[in-house]
Amino acid sequence: MDPLWQDDGATDRGLHEEALVVDIAGFEGPLDLLLHLARNQRVDLSRISVLALAEQYIAFIERARSIRLELAADYLVMAAWLAFLKSRLLIPQQAKDEGPSGEEMASALAFRLKRLEAMRDAASRLVNRNRLGRDVFARGAPEHIPVEKKSAFEASLYDLLSAYASLRQREAVMQVTIEKRQVWSLSDARLLLARLVGDMVEWTALDHFLLRYMTGPKERATAIASSFAASLEMVREGRLEIRQDGAFSPIYLRQGPNPLTAEILAEMEAGRD
Amino acid sequence: MTDPQNDLPGMRPAEENGGAEEMRLDARAEQEAERIAEALVFASAQPVSETYIAARLPRGADVPRIMARLKSLYADRGVHLLQVADHWAFRTAADLSFVVQTDENEVRKLSRAALEVLAIIAYHQPVTRAEIEDIRGVQTSKGTIDVLMEAGWIRFRGRRRTPGRPVTFGTTRDFLDHFGLEELRDLPGLEELKGAGLLSGRIPSNFHIPMPLGDDDLGEDEDPITQLDLEELGLLAPSGGDE
Amino acid sequence: MTDPQNDLPGMRPAEENGGAEEMRLDARAEQEAERIAEALVFASAQPVSETYIAARLPRGADVPRIMARLKSLYADRGVHLLQVADHWAFRTAADLSFVVQTDENEVRKLSRAALEVLAIIAYHQPVTRAEIEDIRGVQTSKGTIDVLMEAGWIRFRGRRRTPGRPVTFGTTRDFLDHFGLEELRDLPGLEELKGAGLLSGRIPSNFHIPMPLGDDDLGEDEDPITQLDLEELGLLAPSGGDE
């Protein structure tokens, strides 16, 4: 059978049961890492312990942080979300807090893992089919090319658009580029978070988890300041609502009247880096 | 260009035999039509469309029927006639790959990411980039999309009628041809995936996982906690009666 | 590579039936050998030698006999198996060459320059040649414009009411058809280009992508182009008759 991945995936991907080597280089993002951890539970994905999974993931991230490994924001946001999920699963829900139940969040996660795994399987079945040029061959000495007489010239929409985009991009790069910020902005985090969680329809106390995973102790003060500003901005846009019951009590967030759609999200992300 | 109808013997329309009934080809003409279709498809390395074939056959030729006949004629041969969407192509029989393969023919190796994106586009099309990223949980690099575009396997399909009108991706006929699929419905496991709700953005209503951690799912290095343990730890009052 | 002989059923050498006589294939094995020869000739870019075929057939296969049989099998078909010296190749039956050899106009790939100019015209229309050059930063050769005109994708739209009254370019209906667009508004804008990964995020805030002006709308400073203009520009021969 043809090796499925060019980089020969699983074997050199850092994680083995015994030695939980902290190396995220081989992983395609947090979901991939989670899926790998879930597979180590050696059970059908619909029977995994989401709680155990969350703990393993968090432990993994903590370890990476302790040896000061640079982790991409995606991994940290996932850690924050899983920590939140864990608290939801362990602490009985309070009546006033109507956020999604731990069970709902867990099954959302399990669904995403299962869906990703299904696509992986589909990809491997696809790539192992009889492929043209490998298993099955076309006429080696074609005598003619059938031309539907639409045009004597060929170009796809993709050719056209990429030609235009790279032309304009060339023109644009002469301008200044903005220096990368030192601190996670909350809007960054919120975007990534929204992508992970989907819509937060109900009041959700997330800041606590976000701050814990998104920042180191040195940056915390600036992170709080900039993230507060960012969240106010989002409230003003109607993307978000904020609630706090008293000084120093948790800050609750939920979707505003003008929520982020997946598409707006994609645009904002595209503009982010 | 000359009208093929006049160049081929036996292809007189049925009217000539009296009657204004629909034209049909007689047996000999049908045989000629078959030869033409065969030659057209055989001559080309790319799949040839039914419209292209039809335009070169005498009027009244039943292209689907002719192609079906040709297909069965070649079913046991070393070369097969395959359908790709509404196109046709001759390809060597898959069971002979070991003899036909040479060292020269190399198939493009796809990166893990590219393969995953390709599968997502194939199974979920039309699909936007945001949706692909939602499924994979990571951003898709421009390079990945480029590789698939350059291979000619994916294309822009259109634009979603939602705010922002995002561009949607889909697969091409070359994709079908490359992976030996007659149509998208032949994608392996498509029906099961659909049935399991795994091709949707939402959690299917029948999707359940046992939550929270079931009592029996203990780690290997873990013993079940007992009533006695709890009492011992002072977490429960010693059970004396019925509460 | 494994020896094909062991992979194919029915290819036991004749010795097994006793006797030290020359190996021969049984009927089924012969049929397999025929399929292999067929596939080999089909997939090869050059005519294939009998030695090449023999090397890939089970020992004992009588190549000349197999090829002769294949040849007669194809004798009435739309494709013939031909022998040239001791090489074999498939060719369209001579009496059908007219179907295959019609419109030999090759499809040409549009050059990078032409693609860029076409894209600028599409997005920035109505646009003059000077403006195109300003965006691309290089002169546009007449050939490039000609190619796009010939493809039928661009047209003269009007004339700018500025000194010299330069001609403005726009795209045609054929352009929309070819690229699968319903209307010019379907051209992806800034956000969609970013969303599709074609523009990276690192672009200045004053960067914008114009919304092309629809077909029938003339720019404010634009006059429609007339027959007279075209003649004056030497683009049309002076009209004498109805033509």
- C10-49 tens-digit pLDDT: 444 444 444 444 456 688 888 899 999 999 999 998 899 9
Residue A205 has pLDDT above 70, yes or no: no
pLDDT of the residue at B220: 39
- Of B96, B123, B139, the one marking the end of a domain is B96
* B54 in the same domain as B159: no
Q: Say if B223 falls within a structural domain.
A: yes
Instruction: Please state, in angstroms and rounded to a whole number, the distance separating the CA atoms of residues A37 and A113.
Output: 11
Q: Say if C5 falls within a structural domain.
A: no
* B65 in the same domain as B133: no
Q: Say if B101 falls within a structural domain.
A: no
Which chain C residue is nearest to residue B131, measuring alpha carbons?
Answer: C195
Residue B110's closest CA among B49, B50, B76, B154?
A: B154
Residue A114 has pLDDT above 50, yes or no: yes
Residue A267's closest CA among C196, B169, B143?
A: C196
Q: Say if B142 falls within a structural domain.
A: yes
Calculate ∠ Cα A54-A58-A216, nearest 5°: 145
CA distances from B98 to B103, C2, C70, C88, C207 (A): 11, 8, 21, 20, 55
* B54 in the same domain as B119: no
Cβ <8 Å between B92 and C43: yes
* C121 in the same domain as C68: no
* C223 in the same domain as C121: yes
Instruction: Please state, in angstroms and rounded to a whole number, the distance separating the CA atoms of residues B206 and B197.
Output: 9
Greater model confidence, A184 or C211: C211
* C189 in the same domain as C132: yes
Interface of C with B in 84-103 (CB under 8 A): 90, 92-93, 96, 98-100, 102-103
* C228 in the same domain as C138: yes
For residue B45, the domain's CATH number is 1.10.10.10
Chains in contact with C, counting 3 or more C-beta pairs less than 8 Å apart as contact: A, B
Interface of A with B in 126-145 (CB under 8 A): 126-127, 129-140, 142-145
CB-CB contact of B115 with A125 (8 Å) = no
Q: Say if B243 falls within a structural domain.
A: no
* B227 in the same domain as B125: yes
Cβ <8 Å between C79 and B42: yes
Q: What is the pLDDT of residues A235-264, one digit of tens each?
A: 777 777 777 777 777 677 777 777 766 666
Q: Chain centroid to CA C26: how far?
A: 45
Q: How many domains does chain C have?
A: 2
* B69 in the same domain as B132: no
Residue of C91, C176, C198, C208 best to disrupt the A interface, most CBs of A under 10 A: C198
* C118 in the same domain as C226: yes
Query: What are A104-109's contacts with CB under 8 Å, separation 24+?
Result: A105/A197, A106/A50, A106/A51, A106/B209, A106/B211, A106/B212, A107/B203, A107/B207, A107/B208, A107/B209, A107/B211, A108/A197, A108/A198, A108/B203, A109/A34, A109/A50, A109/A85
Which chain A residue is nearest to residue C153, measuring alpha carbons?
Answer: A151
| Full domain range(s) for residue C34 | 23-96
Residue A35's closest CA among C57, B8, B116, C204?
A: B116
- Of B67, B96, B125, the one marking the end of a domain is B96
Range A197-207 average pLDDT: 61
Range B100-120 average pLDDT: 84
Q: Say if C204 falls within a structural domain.
A: no
Range C145-159 average pLDDT: 90
Per CB-CB distance under 8 Å, the chain A contacts of B146 are: 162
Cβ <8 Å between A149 and C105: yes
Residues in chain B: 243
CB-CB contact of C153 with C203 (8 Å) = no
Greater model confidence, C45 or B208: C45
Instruction: Please state, in angstroms and rounded to a whole number, the distance separating the CA atoms of residues C167 and C169.
Output: 7
Q: Nearest C-alpha of chain B: how many angstroms from C47?
A: 14
Greater model confidence, A241 or A56: A56
- Of C62, C96, C130, the one marking the end of a domain is C96
Q: Say if B102 falls within a structural domain.
A: no
* B86 in the same domain as B183: no
Residue B92 has pLDDT above 90, yes or no: yes
CB-CB contact of A74 with B137 (8 Å) = yes
Instruction: Please state, in angstroms and rounded to a whole number, the distance separating the CA atoms of residues B1 and C103.
Output: 9
Torsions phi, psi of B162, nearest 5?
-130, 165
* B124 in the same domain as B83: no
CB-CB contact of B99 with C34 (8 Å) = no
Q: Nearest C-alpha of chain B: how many angstroms from C114?
A: 19
**pTM of the full predicted structure?**
0.71
Range B105-122 average pLDDT: 87
